[in-house]
Amino acid sequence: MRVIHSYHNTLPADRGAAAAIGNFDGVHLGHQSVIDIARATAEQTGAPLGVLTFEPHPRAFFAPQAAAFRLMSPVARRNRLAKLGVTHLYELPFDAALAALTPEAFARDVIGHGLGLSQVVIGQDFCFGKARAGTAADLVRFGAEFGFDVSIAPLLETQGAQVSSTAIRTALSEGRPQDAAAMLGHWHRLEGAVLHGEKRGRELGFPTANMDVSGLHLPRLGVYAVQVDVLTGPHAGHYTGAASLGTRPMFGENTPNLETFLFDFQGDLYGETLSVALVDYLRPEETFASLEAFIAQMHADCDRARALLSAL
């Protein structure tokens, strides 16, 4: 997948795409339905399949001090879009200059003249341009003027509720990863490099792969049954395990991180990239009266996680 970071001086090979537009945080089923409409046009016309998105997320640009809300990092989003067959990702820097473009200027200078998109697909609630003043109907009008077709995708619902990143965040915050997965169309994953930690898990008989989760929306803290893809290195492959997402109250820590114990695994994962799928919530994080009680609970957690994962 090609990643294009500018709408200025676009290469001929990167023009003419049929592209879905949006932030695509989580790449949930609603996002996938928008991409599917663009895919149909791409297949009919022989155009590249594209996605136009922004980095940072506009919400983070306008409120940089707000609590972390993103469901996935830019790299995780790229990985997910590539799996969906997107060949051209237009990941434009969202800065003051882009934010200041009027809806007409955005349609003309970015979509039409800049990227030369042949078709764009948006959701019914799509807003664009300075102060989010442009509507889906406005983009249809501008498309006719500046040489690109516009398709409007209907909003998607599951079980009578609209699929949205907000609803997914709520499900994760409440410890309902399976409900989140039903809206995502895939397990919610936390991806990142394995960092050196205190190595307490190894001393307790449960060596864990530690990952930083800063900058992301935090699901409910606690212990999860997980599926793990090791994406790099000699141990690349698929594993199952149990993971603790939290502040490690047993040891007086206060910075959240993800510690994942891979079942039936031996090896060194430091520096490698992991994708950890939250499959089921087992229990909240706790403080135990003794290390013996803590270790006994970890054994119980792993036994329960194995049983749950083997039933999938």
Amino acid 217: pLDDT = 96
pLDDT at residue 162 in the model: 83
pLDDT at 252 over 60: no
- List, for residues 131-167, the tens digit of each pLDDT value: 999 999 999 999 999 999 999 998 887 766 789 999 9
pLDDT in tens, 64-88: 999 999 999 999 999 999 999 999 9
Q: What is the mean pLDDT of the chain?
A: 93
pLDDT of residue 196: 85
- Residues 253-279 have a mean pLDDT of 92
Please tell me which residue in 259, 285, 286, 292 is annotated as part of the active site: 259
> Using CA atoms, how far apart are residues 289 and 284, in angstroms rounded to an integer?
16
pLDDT of 197-209, one tens digit each? 766 656 567 899 9
- Enumerate helices (H) and strands (E) in the chain, giving the number of each: 10, 14
CA–CA separation, 308 vs 230, rounded Å? Answer: 21
Assign 3-class secondary structure to 223-292: EEEEEEEECCCCCCEEEEEEEEEECCHHHCCCCCEEEEEECCCCCCCCCCEEEEEEEEEEECCCCCCCHH
Q: What is the pLDDT of residue 204?
A: 67
Q: How many angstroms separate the CA atoms of 244 and 210, rounded?
A: 10
* 298-310: pLDDT as tens digits: 999 999 999 999 9
pLDDT band, very low/low/confident/very high, at 110 (cuts 50, 70, 90): very high
What is the reported pLDDT for 143?
A: 98
Residue of 27, 299, 12 lying closest to 186 (CA atoms): 27
pLDDT of residue 253: 58
Catalytic: 104?
Answer: no
Which residue segments constitute the domains of the chain, with CATH numbers given?
A: 2-155 (3.40.50.620), 176-310 (2.40.30.30)
pLDDT for residue 250 is more than 60: no
Q: What is the pLDDT of residue 238?
A: 98
Q: Burial level of 267, CB count in 10 A (0-12/13-18/19+)?
A: exposed
**24 phi, psi to nearest 5 deg:** 55, 40
- Token pair for 118: 């042949």
pTM for this entry: 0.90
Q: How sure is the predictor about 256, in pLDDT bands with cuts at 50, 70 and 90?
A: confident
How far is residue 213 from each of residues 67, 114, 130, 192, 258, measured CA to CA in Å? 13, 35, 32, 8, 7
